[in-house]
Amino acid sequence: MSTDTVNPDSARARLVKHLTGAGDLRTPAIRHAFSAVPRHLFVPGTPLADAYADKILVTKRDVDGTALSSASQPSIVAHMLEQAQPAPGARVLEIGAGTGYNAALLRELVGERGHITTIDVFTDVADDARRNLTAAGYDDVDVLTGDGAAGAPDTAPFDLIVVTAGAWDVPAAWWAQLAPGGRIVVPLRWRGLTRSLALDHQPAGSGGPAHLVSRSMYLCGFIPMSGTSDGGRTVALADNVTLLADQDQPITTDALTGVLDTPRSETWSGVVIPGDQSTEDIWLRMSITEPGTCRIHADGSAIDSGRVTPATRINPALADGDSIAYLASRRVADGPPSRWELGAIGHGPRGAQLADRIAATARDWDRDRDAQPRITLYPADTPDEQIPAGLVIDKRDSRMVFSW
């Protein structure tokens, strides 16, 4: 039997080497934390090879099988810690205790002069995290049970807030509990997509209100937060096709009933990508330029029957009243194999125009594929005259402003 299959130190070293080689681990201190924390102690009963594999491990499911808690994929954990850059002596709040593994990494990074508080909405998850942390030697981490959206006011303020579940908003409690000049790292959702944002707090000054400004952005996926209301709405197009829209968007089932039964129109952009090219940045650009951007989700049966033919099963769409269009792709016959042209398919009275707009967005993306927007968040009560120019998405406790 290979010693790597029974030796946690070897398995952990192999994981660190993999994450470093892939560019996920870049900072020596964070690399050291990954080398020091025994991940297998946070997923007891899991085979060692799985405990140190770069994959998510679901640890709690609902009765219908929906994932409720997990040990996040190590590469995503590494990316978020690189975004966070926890400083020695920092006070940190983690939203979503999970197995306790991320809290242990944070504890390694802030050292004895720092302090980690982690909170989870599920009592059994918090109990397991507390037990795992104690077993691994991190019993000075405070593990709380409660709604993460309320934060931990008794131990605030925090220099850093790290959110390990998908969030639709930056709740008012996080605004209040973040120290001036602090940082929030959060997988934030808008228009159906998710990005891990590192948001730096900028105190009020020169007549402007306090705000959060993005310093980095990373594509990721997380289990949504539990225990607090979400701002997303599901709009049914058919039994096996839905849209996910935000609360500020006037997208309704009533207006779109039967839209998929109307004739379809196709527009092709001329933009060709390899088969392994992600279209997520087109979705990002759509979310900033098109207020009607949302997410279309089709079951395999809907795609197999040809009722809808999106580029991917979870895909950007554009809705306007009684019309929709969604990103599509088709194989390019000539040239190297596995090349796809991007386009859009529309339904409804304005479906063709919406498809044209998606194709135009794909061409804009193609001219500068690496462009990233500036994202700034303001408290929800910030008046319009104090909001800079850009697309504004109003959430419950925050106003998101996007600009290039």
Tens-digit pLDDT string for the chain (404 aa): 344 456 999 999 999 999 999 999 999 999 999 999 999 999 999 999 999 999 988 776 777 777 667 778 999 999 999 999 999 999 999 999 999 999 999 999 999 999 999 999 999 999 999 999 999 999 999 999 999 999 999 999 999 999 998 899 999 999 999 999 999 999 999 999 999 999 999 998 766 899 999 999 988 877 778 755 577 889 999 989 999 999 899 999 999 999 999 999 999 999 999 988 888 999 999 999 999 999 999 998 999 999 999 998 889 999 999 999 999 999 987 766 688 999 999 999 999 999 999 999 999 999 999 888 999 999 999 999 999 988 999 999 999 999 88
Q: Is 72 an annotated catalytic residue? A: yes
pLDDT at residue 211, rounded to an integer: 96
pLDDT at residue 2, rounded to an integer: 43
Q: What is the pLDDT of residues 180-222, one digit of tens each?
A: 999 999 999 999 999 999 999 999 876 689 999 999 998 887 7
pLDDT at residue 68, rounded to an integer: 67
Residue among 72, 75, 196, 287 flagged as catalytic: 72
pLDDT at residue 67, rounded to an integer: 66
pLDDT at residue 225, rounded to an integer: 80
Cα 283–Cα 78–Cα 315 angle in degrees, nearest 5? 20
pLDDT at residue 1, rounded to an integer: 37
pLDDT at residue 58, rounded to an integer: 76
pLDDT at residue 227, rounded to an integer: 57
